[in-house]
Structure 1
Amino acid sequence: MPEGHSIHRLAAAFDELLAGQRIDVSSPQGRFADGARVLNGRRYEGSEAYGKHLFQHFDDLVLHTHLGLYGSWTFDGDASFVAPHAIGAPRRRIGESEELAGEITPTDVWAPPEPRGQVRVRLATNHGIADLTGPNQCRVLSAPETLAVTSRLGPDPLRADADPERFITRARQLRRPIGELVMDQAVISGPGNIYRAEALFIAGIHPWRPGNRVSIARLRTLWDVLAEHMKNGVETGSIVTTSEGEQERFYVYQRAGLPCLVCTTPIVLEEMAARKLYRCPRCQR
């Protein structure tokens, strides 16, 4: 599943490609036919990412999508429609790096390609298309319904309106392990398994420590680490958490049994809430 930085990159791509235009909206697969009819011909006002959710504004209505494990947006267009080939899944990844098939090849003669696979939604202009396949969620919302969704989410470190105190206060109220809380989108929005492992290591926090036993100062450090590295992910399209000069991209993620880059203790692999958990038994307390 794409982590939160990928959704923010996706929102920026859509804003650059579609903002201010009237969009032809269709559902080649047919499963979103009613929603497509409602949105078709409306003006695309802009995109908003919140955690792993994308909200695309069409006048007074919103196309809400969540890619989940298998969702993907794929782009194609002419020379004036410059976008990454795909953002999301399925495609092979190393960690959470965006290994794209390459930029769209500029061409002066272009026609919309036939839909490939089960395309739930196609957004089209005269110059390009964006196809959505395999999303976990895809629906049309009103402004109040959109607010109802975002109000259930924890603060997103990548948003200008994020309040870290909400995360700190909520984490301090719960006895669940902090490693679970960082993955709970109702506590904090956006981080996935890679950011969870790496941020807890950098902050020196043991992932099994209950949230209510992590100090306010350490929770604030954890928030700052997440915000910094997720912003780097937005800028670069990949997750690299190690210091400059390190050959490894990650300190602990996918390094089970290998020596810690800081203390040389072998990295431990465990399971937490049905997800793989990586930690250093010496550096994280």
Structure 2
Amino acid sequence: MPEGHSVHRITRQFQRNFVGHRVTVSSPQGRFVTGAQQLSGHTVTDARAVGKQMFLEFDHGLWLRIHLGMYGAWDFSGEIQMDATMASANGRMGQTNQHGTDLDAGDPAPTFDAAGENSIFSIGAPRRTRVRMSEQEKQIDLAETFPPEPVGQVRVRLLSDTVCADLRGPTACEVLDPAQVDAVIAKLGPDPELDNTPEAEARFVAVVQKKPTPIGRLLMDQTVVSGIGNVYRAEMLFRAGLNPHVPGKSLRETTVRALWQDWAHLLHIGVATGQMMTMDKLEGDEYRLALKNRADRHWVYKREGLPCRVCGTHIVLEEMAARKLYWCPRCQA
């Protein structure tokens, strides 16, 4: 399932390529015909992400709400402008995080992982290309014609003069009015990429410290905090040295505040790089290796049965909140 960083990156693509443009909206699959008719011919005026959900506003006051869920993905094609807000001074996505991982270091050529994912796109003039954005991002073959023929079960197509965005497999796809959008957002926990204020941190801390629920479940609860999914949950708990089964209300305030701050830190890196980079102090070849291989990015995620990178104890796999949980029974005792 796409986690918060992916949804923020997708939303920024809409901000860059669709906001301010009149679009034709259709439903090639046929499952969103009425909604498409409500939006088609109008101008996109805003694009927002809150956790794992995104919202597109149109000039007549209606919004398109999307939750990608487990299988959803957006395909962008045409003369795509990559998001300049994620570009560094040297014209590439990146930033240097506080723990020393240099996101601008190394060869200026794009870095591809074993699955073909381009982690850092060049910034510049619009390029005629196609990009798949979901849990991972991939640059795929150039379409010979524009707009391309719909491929697969396209729920929604947004088409401007130069860019096409096709949505497949979302969990939620609906047209809402402003009051309905506000009601959806009100139920969500704070998102540090939108609001990393002391007030947002305090809200997270207060909710966690009231709950007898295990912290491993609370971090996945989108009403407690927005955007955390299976990968970030496992990695954050390891980085904090926390047993996933410890009740939230038993945690010290300083511990819960540190969790919030670490989530803000990791989410910011994820938005900048497109990768869930959770190992700090990676530089040079180590950093490039981590970009290319997911096994070199994480402390515990998908490392069941392998020795812990810190203590050597075998990483445990269990189920929590209907998702796989990876953790070290010694470092997180």
Fold equivalence (TM over 0.5): yes
- Which amino acid in the other structure matches residue 68 of structure 1? G
Residue 182 (structure 2) aligns with: 147
CA distance in 1, matches of 2:49, 2:128: 20
- What does residue range 217-256 of structure 1 map to in structure 2 within 5 Å? 217-245=254-282, 248-256=296-304
- Which amino acid in the other structure matches residue 228 of structure 1? H
Change (3 A) 1:284 1:198: same
2:131–2:137 contact (8 Å) kept in structure 1? no
Change (3 A) 1:241 1:132: same
Percent of aligned pairs with the same residue? 47
Q: What TM-score comes out, normalization by structure 1 length?
A: 0.91
2:42–2:58 contact (8 Å) kept in structure 1? yes
Residue 139 (structure 2) aligns with: 101
1:77–1:110 contact (8 Å) kept in structure 2? no
Q: Structure 1 runs of 4+ off > 4 angstroms?
A: 81-84
- Which amino acid in the other structure matches residue 323 of structure 2? R
Change (3 A) 1:261 1:220: same
1:271–1:277 contact (8 Å) kept in structure 2? yes
Q: What TM-score comes out, normalization by structure 2 length?
A: 0.78
CA distance in 1, matches of 2:184, 2:225: 14
Cα drift, residue 83 of structure 1:
6.8
Cα drift, residue 184 of structure 1:
0.5
Cα drift, residue 278 of structure 1:
1.1
The match for 2:253 among 205, 209, 216 is: 216
Moved more, 141-150 or 269-278: 269-278
CA distance in 2, matches of 1:220, 1:263: 26
- Which amino acid in the other structure matches residue 141 of structure 1? L
Q: Is 1:116 matched up with 2:164?
A: no
Moved more, 161-170 or 208-217: 161-170
Residue 92 (structure 1) aligns with: none
Cα drift, residue 111 of structure 1:
2.4
1:168–1:219 contact (8 Å) kept in structure 2? yes
Q: Is 1:157 matched up with 2:192?
A: yes
CA distance in 2, matches of 1:130, 1:16: 13
CA distance in 2, matches of 1:143, 1:83: 34
- Which amino acid in the other structure matches residue 19 of structure 1? V
Q: Is 1:272 matched up with 2:272?
A: no
Cα drift, residue 133 of structure 1:
1.1
Cα drift, residue 205 of structure 1:
1.3
1:232–1:239 contact (8 Å) kept in structure 2? yes
1:164–1:220 contact (8 Å) kept in structure 2? yes
Secondary structure of 1:85's aligned partner: strand
Moved more, 189-198 or 120-129: 120-129
Residue 96 (structure 2) aligns with: none
Q: Is 1:56 matched up with 2:102?
A: no
- What does residue range 64-213 of structure 1 map to in structure 2 within 5 Å? 64-78=65-79, 80=126, 85-88=131-134, 98-102=136-140, 105=142, 110-160=145-195, 163-213=200-250
Change (3 A) 1:84 1:280: farther
- Which amino acid in the other structure matches residue 327 of structure 2? R
CA distance in 2, matches of 1:110, 1:182: 44
Cα drift, residue 233 of structure 1:
0.5
- Which amino acid in the other structure matches residue 203 of structure 2? R
Q: Which has the higher contact order (CA 8 A, sep 6+)?
A: 2
CA distance in 1, matches of 2:302, 2:158: 37
1:13–1:83 contact (8 Å) kept in structure 2? no
Residue 93 (structure 1) aligns with: none
- Which amino acid in the other structure matches residue 138 of structure 2? L
Change (3 A) 1:135 1:277: same
CA distance in 2, matches of 1:250, 1:46: 34
Question: Runs of 5+ in structure 2 lacking a partner?
Answer: 81-125, 291-295
1:17–1:81 contact (8 Å) kept in structure 2? no
Q: How many residues matched?
A: 274
Change (3 A) 1:140 1:99: closer
- Which amino acid in the other structure matches residue 169 of structure 2? G
- Which amino acid in the other structure matches residue 283 of structure 1? C
Cα drift, residue 230 of structure 1:
1.1
Q: Is 1:24 matched up with 2:70?
A: no
CA distance in 2, matches of 1:268, 1:70: 26
- Which amino acid in the other structure matches residue 41 of structure 1? G
Residue 2 (structure 1) aligns with: 2
Cα drift, residue 82 of structure 1:
5.9
Cα drift, residue 188 of structure 1:
0.7
CA distance in 2, matches of 1:99, 1:127: 21
